[in-house]
Structure 1
Amino acid sequence: MAERKSKEERINDITNAAMDVFLEKGYENTTMEAIAQKAGVSKGGLYHHFQSKDMILLVVNQKISEKVGGLLSKASECSSIKEGILFYIENYLKYWLDHPKDTSFLFLSIAKILDNQELLKYYQQFTVDYMKYFEEAFAMGVELGEFIPHNVKASAITLVAAMDGILSYMLLDEQLNLEEVVKHFEEKFIKPIERKK
């Protein structure tokens, strides 16, 4: 007799299968039936967990965001604000480069954001929280004397925009080395605001 899977295991099976089907067929050509078949569940079983493919798209994005969000917690454990920011930059870029399936899925999702209000709301809130994290990190760096007083909001916005921007170029240009990119980021975003000892 086959062992019954927990709800969490079943949802993981469905979201992993959905990611494959979305990437293979594109969002528009993906059906709930195709997802159910790939996940090895009945169509009724699929609808028991998810009402629509929009809902599945949102949950898969949430799962990916949780992985990336975990890097923020690890960055907070670093010995200094500067080290935490550099840790995050390196590991954020490394995550997307090492997980091409997740990266492709993110780009597929971005194309759907304006058509999907739930996904749009999710990413709007994620962006607010993300920017706030870096704004608070730069502010803490100023407070602790690691950084000189400066516009911490501008630092947060430009850093996040630059990370997402360079990622696209790193995917397209194999000459862009992660270690060098992190050094360039340090040169542009950290050294100008570091308090001289």
Structure 2
Amino acid sequence: MTSLSTDTSPTPGAKRERRKEARPGELLNAALDLFVEKGFAATRVEEVAARAGVSKGTLFLYFPSKDELFKAVVRESISGRLVEWNSDFEAFKGSSCDMLAYCMNSWWDRVGATRASGLTKLMMSEAGNFPDIAAFYHQEVVQPGHSLIRRILQRGIDRGEFRSMDLDYAVYSVVAPMVFMILSQHSMGVCMPIDCPLDPQKYIASQLGILLDGMRAAPGDPQA
């Protein structure tokens, strides 16, 4: 008597289909690695394709140029996170001090501590040579990020938790410590003592304390 087959392995066609669906993600991962390792100018699409295990022609089916590939990497790795943070902002019920702490710590967890943080260093070093890419990064990452921080600070002012301040400049007081952490991480801590490596959690707590001490509304302030 012939037994029924129990082989559940996918058919060749199904395997190829899954492989095809996985290709964009594999290409983006490979591109992120290479952009962070080598920079934008030095990364070649042939290298990205080879690292992802596909042909150059296959890469161009999904991303018609290196510029478009880089933009897709930024959207996938960084700017897409801003949608999450804006949703968090709308739902947040705590104080504005707690909200700022959450923002800084979650940024580190979701971006700063990941490979994606290397894209910020890349932009700082290569933006001048690639103005179109720089304009894209400003529109997709810098502007929305600053806007979110500004909303948090304005919320604190409106609720009487923060003193009045020039928000255009106050935003940079929040951004600067984050940028320093990125540079420390991707430049081998050249600004740090060799025997005192940067602890991200302690650093964020220290910077946050300094920021909040400077921003909190005093009892005599009109909005307090």
Give the TM-score of the pair, scaled to structure 2: 0.72
Q: Which amino acid aligns with 1:165?
A: F
Find the partner of 1:177 among 189, 199, 203: 199
1:71-124 residue CA offsets vs partner (Å, 9 max, x unmatched): 62365243121111111112223445532x323344234333222233211222
Show the counterpart of 1:117.
131
Asked if 1:54 is matched to 2:54, the reply is no
1:141, distance to aligned residue in structure 2 (A): 0.9
Q: Go from structure 1 to structure 2 and tell me whether the alpha carbon gap of 1:24 and 1:127 turns closer, same or farther (over 3 Å shift).
A: closer
| Rounded Cα–Cα distance in structure 1 between residues aligned with 2:181 and 2:42 | 30
Q: Which amino acid aligns with 1:186?
A: L
Asked if 1:154 is matched to 2:176, the reply is no
1:22–1:30: 8 Å Cα contact kept in structure 2?
Answer: yes
1:23–1:104: 8 Å Cα contact kept in structure 2?
Answer: yes
Find the partner of 1:87 among 90, 93, 102: 102
**Runs ≥4 in structure 1, deviation > 6 angstroms?**
none
Give the superposed CA RMSD: 2.8
Alignment identity in percent? 19
Alignment of 1:1-197 (within 5 A): 1=12, 2-5=15-18, 9-23=22-36, 26-66=39-79, 68-69=81-82, 72-73=85-86, 75-76=88-89, 77-78=91-92, 79-96=94-111, 98-99=113-114, 101-125=115-139, 126-169=141-184, 172=189, 173=192, 174-196=196-218
Structure 1 unaligned spans of 5+: none
1:71–1:88: 8 Å Cα contact kept in structure 2?
Answer: no
Aligned pairs, number: 196
1:44, distance to aligned residue in structure 2 (A): 2.0
Structure 2 unaligned spans of 5+: 1-11, 220-224
1:142–1:149: 8 Å Cα contact kept in structure 2?
Answer: yes
2:121–2:183: 8 Å Cα contact kept in structure 1?
Answer: no
- Answer with 1 or 2: which has the greater Rg: 2
1:3, distance to aligned residue in structure 2 (A): 3.8
1:143, distance to aligned residue in structure 2 (A): 0.8
